[in-house]
Amino acid sequence: DAGVTQSPTHLIKTRGQQVTLRCSPKSGHDTVSWYQQALGQGPQFIFQYYEEEERQRGNFPDRFSGHQFPNYSSELNVNALLLGDSALYLCASSLGGAGDRVAYNEQFFGPGTRLTVL
Amino acid sequence: GQNIDQPTEMTATEGAIVQINCTYQTSGFNGLFWYQQHAGEAPTFLSYNVLDGLEEKGRFSSFLSRSKGYSYLLLKELQMKDSASYLCAAVDSNYQLIWGAGTKLIIKP
């Protein structure tokens, strides 16, 4: 049973560029959450997707956008990259459902994508 | 504002017991998670508490006091592989996870 997978593992971009990160959830999971984790810090919630819609959003600018596909996989897009966007981007999947919330469902994290913005 | 506080770093000896504390201030509360994260790896789930009290799971136990806004993670019979960061995350009224910065636990032989 495959766990959560993310691609690419590492990525180097320059300021102003755009990046797309990808995530495939654990088999049977339908909810995907994205987090940004700066070095030495805890993860910061970006947004959560369920049934191809953004269900929750953290305090991140509109430069951060996402998408969920019918097979529950997800993409995170970041436009106009800033140096401060350099971080580990984590994807977490869980089993959601109508009315369910992150709180009650254990999230399984992928290995992350290390983004470096130069 | 919402805030999670936990010590930055702790050191303990192999075979000993260590308690990692976490205090939280959130707008509403819907439970608290503990995750373990080894360097360069993804966080892995350890526990979830929503009711007051102690929950034991093998060598790891987690405690919650909602009235005090306080939780701790207790690790017994420490092993070298327990060297990692331990992240505390509280769930607010919007069901969003508010994460602490993590406690780096160093285990010495």
Cis peptide preceding A111, ω within 30 of 0: no
Q: Which two tokens stand for residue A9?
A: 């593992």
For position A98, what pLDDT does the model report?
44
Q: Which two tokens stand for residue A107?
A: 């999230």
Contact A35, A113 (CB under 8 A): no
**Lowest model confidence (mean pLDDT) among A27-31, B3-7, B65-69:** A27-31
**Average pLDDT score over chain B:** 94
The strand pairing partners of B50, in sequence order, are none
Residue A99 scores a pLDDT above 50: no
Q: For chain A, list residues whose CB is within 8 angstroms of any CB belonging to chain B.
A: 4, 40-45, 56, 58, 90, 101-104, 106-112
Of A45, A108, A110, the CB nearest to B97: A45
Single out the residue of A53, A50, A46, A45 nearest to residue A95, CA to CA.
Answer: A50
Single out the residue of A1, A4, A2 nearest to residue A92, CA to CA.
Answer: A4
**Average pLDDT score over chain A:** 90
Of B30, B42, B95, the CB nearest to A111: B42
For position A103, what pLDDT does the model report?
46
Calpha distance A76→A21 (Å, rounded)? 5
A103 backbone dihedrals φ, ψ, rounded to 5°: -50, -40
Of A45, A90, A103, the CB nearest to B31: A103
Shortest distance between the Cα of B15 and any Cα of chain A, in A, equals 27
Q: Which two tokens stand for residue B68?
A: 């005090």
DSSP A73-105: -EEEEE-S--GGG-EEEEEEEE---TT--GGGS
For position A115, what pLDDT does the model report?
97
**By CA distance, what is A38's nearest residue in B?**
B101
Band (A92; pLDDT cuts 50, 70, 90): very high
A31-41 per-position pLDDT tens digit: 999 999 998 88
Pairing of strands B103-108, B9-13: parallel
Query: Residue A37: CA atoms inside 13 Å, Cβ hemisphere, count?
Result: 30
Length of chain B: 109
Secondary structure (3-state) at A8: coil
Residue percentage of chain B with pLDDT more than 90: 81
Shortest distance between the Cα of B91 and any Cα of chain A, in A, equals 6
